[in-house]
Chains A and B, each alone.
Chain A
Amino acid sequence: MPSVHFDHVSKRFGATTVVEDFNLEVADGELLVLVGGSGSGKTTILRMLAGLEEVTEGMIRIDQRDVTALPPRERDVAMVFQDYGLYPHMTVRENLSLGLRLRKVARKEIDRRVAWAGDMLRLEPLLDRKPKQLSGGQQQRVAMGRAMVREPLVFLFDEPLSNLDAGLRAQMRIEIGGLQRRLKTTTVYVTHDQVEAMTLGDRIVVLADGRIQQVGKPIELYRAPVNRFVAGFIGTPPMNFVDGQLLREDGSTVFAAEGVRVQLPHEIADGTGSSEVVTLGIRPEDLTVDSGDSTDAPADSIPGRVVLVERLGGTSHVHFDAGPHRLLASVSNDRLPEVGDSITVRVRAERVHLFGGDGRKT
């Protein structure tokens, strides 16, 4: 079955290392998302898999076959490009069928597959139009159809939604996910958008500086990020970070920073040293705002002053200062404080994350 293996793959452009010792297995039928900022190496990895970029070191296998040195056309993979890469002088039908015509597939079979893709992607009324006569979303669907009709071993998506507006992006995201689940074709999907990664991926690979930071199911990355980078990258709004120290007080461990004190439960504090310099990570939804004074505040709460309230409808973002730290709480709309209010913010201490000086989870 068509799985994809990267074995110790590196890519260097001159003296610059773009991808370093990349090891990964993409399971058959899986939708794997490579996510990272610009310069993280995610597109380079995809292009090496496509054969559009040479591998400096290591081996890539598709369906157990070593494809490292093969040209793109011998790899049996199909790619959906960021700007779609549709042939502007051809109709949609010609765009869809060109790959099959080049491979001398029988006419009847071509017609069958074009009809199948056209039906699946609702392209029938557009088959005789040229790409420039289509909207962005329609062009996107043609690009997917062109990949589908080839019935390749692997689909590659290179930031396919980044040229679409927000509404269409959400819709196409659902379509891509649904399509992949129906076709069950092994897929590698590159994006810089962590929402896309979270919603689409069976598994996510978080990349930074050409190295894998973490591989896992979306919810694993969210709940148990292995380092500060992943913690900050996955999740919207992003996690709050406070630099401070661990103190032992009366047999319990307390995180202390100017303006922020949080008593840590044993399962989080275990294995940490006293006076250790750490970074505390708190997801915005793990903060609860108690408006009013903080005179009888419990031990796991932080006093703060509201600096901004963003009302999003269902929930709102309350930005507040706790000492020198600017923090964000994601709260329901029942009792929203006003700007300038003094508030008490309760921390769900069992949900916080601690990262050591090297950024790794302690």
Chain B
Amino acid sequence: MRAEQRSGSLMAAPYAAFLLVFAAYPIAFALVLVFLQWDLVTTPSFAGLDNVRLLANDGRFWRAVANTFVFLSIHLPLQIATALVLALALNRPLVLRSFWRASFFLPVVISGAVVAILWSNLYATDVGLINRLLVRIGLTPVPWLTDPSTAMPAIAAMVTWKNVGFYVIIYLAGLQYIPRSCQEAIEMEGATAWQRFRHLTLPMLLPQTILVVTLSTINGFQLFIEPYVMTGGGPLRRTYSIVLYLYTNAFSYQKMGYAATIGVALALIIGAVVFIQRRVIGKEETL
């Protein structure tokens, strides 16, 4: 038994070390930084609750929080709907099914910066492919990334496209868990395709939906690369996300203490939102 314990600890050691160095230590360091003022160069000085007080009254921070919520309010429903529809389509007998599955997953593994640059070109007002298609069918071009009202929705659509393959896989796994006899039973009971989806498929995918909502919420709050590359937070700061604001404070203004405070606040917000989500949609989960 003791030998077993020792070999177990030994095998867990590399991961434990990784966790200590890259998770536990940074978290602890960030928590300390909240009470410091530090520009990365000079010696840190104790700042008490100055950073927290500043954050509470910082309009730009709250603007970024609002922006991020706008992003999530578009991204989450879009992400769930597209992932679900694609999973349902890819779960049917389909010509070239493996090819389609791989195609939808491909964007997940492409670097976020590359995708952002690619989509900047697609979204370009005058020469972008999307606007050219719009003009072709007789519509007026849309200044996707330069109009304050369309910039964040455009980014949300792009992020949805990039991540959809990952959530499709989660839903596909869930779909394969629905017993065939249940599907046949409800079919024999007279359910139409919509009724089968409404009364069997959707409720039985609840655990997957909770997972998709949780993961895409956590990911969504960390929105950074896309506005950083595509809009720089504009126009009119409408795409300024929390993490972009954190990054700017840390590496443009060298305010490490304040950046850490934003980071801790972000972690608390994510925790609170995920908690509320689970309370609301998780209460039905008794599968």
**B181 A81 Cβ-Cβ under 8 A:** yes
Give the B interface residue count (CB, 8 A).
21
**B48 CB-CB contact with A under 8 Å:** no
**A335 CB-CB contact with B under 8 Å:** no
**A88 B181 Cβ-Cβ under 8 A:** no
Chain A interface residue number, banded: 20 to 34
**A77 B182 Cβ-Cβ under 8 A:** no
**B286 A81 Cβ-Cβ under 8 A:** no
**A138 CB-CB contact with B under 8 Å:** no
1/0 contact trace for A23-53 toward B, CB 8 Å?
A: 0000000000000000000000000001110
Q: At the interface with chain A, which of B18-26, B159-167, B195-203, B237-245? A: B195-203
Looking at the assembled complex, report how far the CB atom of B72 sits from the nearest CB atom of chain A, in whole angstroms. Answer: 27
Chain A residue contacts of B190, Cβ below 8 A: 73, 99, 102-103
**B179 A78 Cβ-Cβ under 8 A:** no
Chain B minimum-CB-distance residue to A85: B181
**A83 B186 Cβ-Cβ under 8 A:** no
1/0 contact trace for A70-101 toward B, CB 8 Å?
A: 01110101110111111111000000001100
**Complexed CA–CA distance, A72 and B188 (Å):** 5
**A130 CB-CB contact with B under 8 Å:** yes
**A86 B182 Cβ-Cβ under 8 A:** yes
Chain A residue contacts of B286, Cβ below 8 A: 89, 130
Chain B residue contacts of A319, Cβ below 8 A: none
**Complexed CA–CA distance, A99 and B190 (Å):** 7
- CB-CB contacts below 8 Å: A185-239 with B: none
**A88 B204 Cβ-Cβ under 8 A:** yes
**B203 A89 Cβ-Cβ under 8 A:** yes
Looking at the assembled complex, report how far the CB atom of B283 sits from the nearest CB atom of chain A, in whole angstroms. Answer: 13
**A150 CB-CB contact with B under 8 Å:** yes
**Complexed CA–CA distance, A87 and B200 (Å):** 7
**B287 A150 Cβ-Cβ under 8 A:** no
**B181 A98 Cβ-Cβ under 8 A:** no
**B189 CB-CB contact with A under 8 Å:** yes
1/0 contact trace for B156-192 toward A, CB 8 Å?
A: 0000000000000000000000010110111111111
**B206 CB-CB contact with A under 8 Å:** yes
**B204 A150 Cβ-Cβ under 8 A:** no
**A89 B181 Cβ-Cβ under 8 A:** no
Of B187, B192, B206, which is within 8 A of A89 by CB? B206
Interface SS of chain B: helix
**Complexed CA–CA distance, A71 and B189 (Å):** 11
- CB-CB contacts below 8 Å: B235-287 with A: 284, 286-287
**Complexed CA–CA distance, A85 and B186 (Å):** 9
**Complexed CA–CA distance, A89 and B206 (Å):** 10
**Complexed CA–CA distance, A360 and B287 (Å):** 53
Tally of A-B Cβ pairs under 8 angstroms: 66
**B179 A79 Cβ-Cβ under 8 A:** no
- CB-CB contacts below 8 Å: A56-81 with B: 71-73, 75, 77-79, 81
Of A72, A73, A98, A103, which is within 8 A of B199 by CB? A98
Given known contacts A89-B203, A89-B204, A102-B195, is B182 in contact with A73 (CB within 8 Å)? no
**A73 B287 Cβ-Cβ under 8 A:** no
1/0 contact trace for A117-159 toward B, CB 8 Å?
A: 0000000000000100000000000000010001000000000
**B287 A88 Cβ-Cβ under 8 A:** yes
Of B184, B191, B284, which is within 8 A of A85 by CB? B184
**Complexed CA–CA distance, A86 and B204 (Å):** 12
**B200 A79 Cβ-Cβ under 8 A:** no
**Complexed CA–CA distance, A52 and B182 (Å):** 13
**A79 B184 Cβ-Cβ under 8 A:** yes
**B199 A85 Cβ-Cβ under 8 A:** no
**A73 B179 Cβ-Cβ under 8 A:** no
**A85 B182 Cβ-Cβ under 8 A:** yes
Chain B residue contacts of A79, Cβ below 8 A: 184-185, 188
Chain A residue contacts of B189, Cβ below 8 A: 73, 78, 98-99, 102, 146, 150
**B187 A73 Cβ-Cβ under 8 A:** yes
Looking at the assembled complex, report how far the CB atom of B212 sits from the nearest CB atom of chain A, in whole angstroms. Answer: 18
Chain A residue contacts of B191, Cβ below 8 A: 73, 102
Chain A minimum-CB-distance residue to B190: A73
Chain B residue contacts of A86, Cβ below 8 A: 182, 185
Given known contacts A87-B200, A130-B286, is B184 in contact with A52 (CB within 8 Å)? yes
Chain A residue contacts of B185, Cβ below 8 A: 79, 81, 85-87, 146
Looking at the assembled complex, report how far the CB atom of A150 sits from the nearest CB atom of chain B, in whole angstroms. Answer: 7
Chain B residue contacts of A82, Cβ below 8 A: 181
**Complexed CA–CA distance, A323 and B229 (Å):** 91
**B199 A102 Cβ-Cβ under 8 A:** yes
Looking at the assembled complex, report how far the CB atom of A317 sits from the nearest CB atom of chain B, in whole angstroms. Answer: 37
Chain B residue contacts of A103, Cβ below 8 A: 190
16 contacts between A and B (CB under 8 A): A51-B188, A52-B187, A52-B188, A72-B184, A72-B187, A81-B181, A81-B184, A83-B181, A84-B181, A87-B182, A88-B182, A88-B204, A88-B287, A98-B189, A102-B195, A146-B189
Interface residues of A (CB under 8 A from B): 50-52, 71-73, 75, 77-79, 81-89, 98-99, 102-103, 130, 146, 150
Interface residues of B (CB under 8 A from A): 179, 181-182, 184-192, 195, 199-200, 203-204, 206, 284, 286-287
In the complex, besides A81-B181, A81-B185, 6 extra interface pairs with C-beta distance below 8 angstroms are A52-B188, A71-B187, A85-B182, A88-B204, A98-B186, A146-B189
List the 6 closest A-B pairs by CB distance, nearest first: A85-B181, A99-B189, A85-B185, A81-B181, A73-B190, A72-B188
